[in-house]
Amino acid sequence: NIHGIFFTLYTKAFILKYILPEDNAGQFFSSGHTNNWAVLVCTSRFWFNYRHVANTLSVYRSVKRLGIPDSHIVLMLADDMACNHRNPKPATVFSHKNMELNVYGDDVEVDYRGYEVTVENFLRVLTGRLPPSTPRSKRLLSDDRSNILIYLTGHGGNGFLKFQDSEEISNVELADAFEQMWQKRRYNELLFIIDTCQGASMYERFYSPNLMALASSQVGEDSLSHQPDLAIGVHLMDRYTFYLLEFLEDIHPASKTNMNDLFKVCPKTQCVSTPGHRTDLFLRDPGSVLITDFFGSVRKVEITMETINLTDQIKQKETYSYVDQLPVSEIIHQKPKQKDWHPPDGFILGLWTLILLVFFKSYGIKHLKHIF
């Protein structure tokens, strides 16, 4: 409908020119997402990779605190450090030395664990090509109004990330998976964060729209560990995610902190490596994108200037007690209603008795043999 298209364009132009100030126009046409999802993946096994599990759980803790529920988080941990026999504090995973912050918590819901964390399963989660028997908790049920955070950590190299020290995913495969997600309308905007050696190489091949990417290191650089703990015997976290966690601890659901502030996390003086980011595929200005657009969860509200009296709309309903609703005593003693007439109990027996008495009185017992 050409008239409808022109009307829509005219309405937007009118709002931008006369209703909204120039500096608020970008906020009016903001992200437009209605739900948030997070896919958090640790790809490393074995005790000496304790820090990678702590990295993932740190981000998991932050997104849950900012409002994304477990039903919208797909958590993939390649190893169970909390229950590892080398762990001096079972059922815990710490991100700070001296065991100050337990990121495992009491309500961690791991969706893929151990050998379930594979390249195939990861790609199937992203593209939605899972078997019909897969439960909802293991699915990324996003749509074209979803903002998705994807966080990866593990061991990588130039153009690849290892899974379980037995297989790897390339930057081309990852880029193609994101393109499938875009073609299938599985996201509105996507934030990709990777903490691994030569992490920037993983987003070099991205070509899908509305993608923003961050990495802990440039090509040719290592992503270094942080926080060695003598009691546990390993490093607790990687440097980039450690400072990312400190940054997120100051964020609250109503925070106005934007993505440009996130780009400043862990400069070279702290990380030793050089963090990088890519925003050329992203349609909005990163300065107008709030951190909570990806790390938080939107609240569906409807703003109205009208005064609504809630008491008048509530109809007084007759209340029933439990006994009135369920008359158990009456149900127990209630007799079923008979649709057709049936003789009362003992009627047939009495009738036969009467017939026999009349027969004996009339003929005597000697004629009884004619009956049987």
Which residue ranges make up each domain of the chain?
33-295
Burial of 316 (0-12, 13-18, 19+ CB in 10 A): exposed
Alpha helix segments (H runs only) across 184-214: none
Catalytic residues: 155, 197
Task: Report helix angle 239-249 to 50-65, nearest 10.
Answer: 20
Please provide the distance, in angstroms rounded to a whole number, between the alpha carbons at the two ends of the chain: 95
pLDDT of 169 reads 96
Q: Is the pTM of this model over 0.85?
A: no
pLDDT at residue 315, as a whole number: 58
| Pair of tokens at residue 255 | 């925070």
Question: CATH for 33-295, among 3.40.50.1460, 3.40.50.300, 3.30.930.10, 3.30.360.10?
Answer: 3.40.50.1460
Residues near 177 by beta carbon (within 8 Å), at least 6 away in sequence: 123, 126, 127
Per-residue pLDDT, 370: 57
Window from 16-20, 69-73, 193-197 with minimum mean pLDDT = 16-20
Check whether 345 has a pLDDT greater than 60: yes
Residue 31 φ/ψ, nearest 5 degrees? -55, -45
pLDDT, residue 257, reads 93
- Higher pLDDT residue, 7 or 78? 78
pLDDT of residue 134: 94
Strands (E), the chain: 35-42, 73-77, 112-113, 146-153, 156-157, 160-163, 167-170, 189-195, 211-215, 225-229, 234-238, 276-278
Is the pLDDT score of 279 beyond 90? Answer: yes
For residue 31, the model assigns a pLDDT of 65
Q: Which of 104-113, 289-298, 330-339 has the lowest mean pLDDT?
A: 330-339
Q: Rounded to an integer, what distance in angstroms lies between the CA atom of residue 139 and that of residue 124?
A: 9
Q: Is the pLDDT of residue 29 over 70?
A: no
Q: Are 228 and 94 in contact (CB under 8 A)?
A: no
